Amino acid sequence: MSITYTLFVILGFIAVVLLLEGGFVLWNDNKSPEIQRIEMRLRAISAEGDRGDAKLLKERVLSNTPALQRILLQLPRMQSLDKLLIQAGTGITVSHLLAICCLFTLGGLAVGVVLRWSLLTVILLGATLFTLPIFYMAWKGKKRLQLIETQLPEALDLISRALRAGHAFPSALSMVGTQGPDPIAGEFKTTFDEISFGISTEQALNNLATRVPSADMRYFVMAVLIQRETGGNLSELLGKLSHLMRERFKLFGKIRVLAAEGKMSAWILTCLPFAVAGMIQIVNPSYLPPLFTDPFGIKLVTGAGIMMVVGLIAMWRIIDIRV
Give the start-to-end residue ranges of the domains of the chain: 1-31, 38-142, 145-250, 259-319
| Residues 4-48: tens digit of each pLDDT | 556 556 656 666 665 666 566 566 656 666 666 666 666 655 554
Of the given ranges (59-63, 126-130, 289-293), which has the lowest mean pLDDT? 59-63
pTM of structure: 0.63
Q: What is the DSSP string of 165-196?
A: TT--HHHHHHHHHHHSPTTHHHHHHHHHHHHH
In one-letter notation, the amino acid at residue 51 is R
Residue 146: per-residue pLDDT: 87
- The CA-atom distances, in angstroms, between 144 and each of 212, 213, 281 are 9, 11, 41
Question: Residue 87 in contact with residue 141, Cβ under 8 Å?
Answer: yes
Residues 6+ apart with CB under 8 A from 198: none
* Mean pLDDT, range 112-120, rounded to an integer: 78
CATH topology of domain 145-250: Receptor-associated Protein (1.20.81)
What number is the average pLDDT over the span 72-81? Answer: 75
Distance of alpha carbon 197 from alpha carbon 200, whole angstroms: 9
Q: What is the pLDDT of residue 301?
A: 84
Residue 287 DSSP one-character state: T
Whether pLDDT at 59 is above 80: no
Helix axes 184-196, 169-179, angle to 10 degrees: 140
Residue 181: what are its φ and ψ, rounded to 5°? -80, 155
Alpha carbons 251 and 248: distance in angstroms, whole number: 5
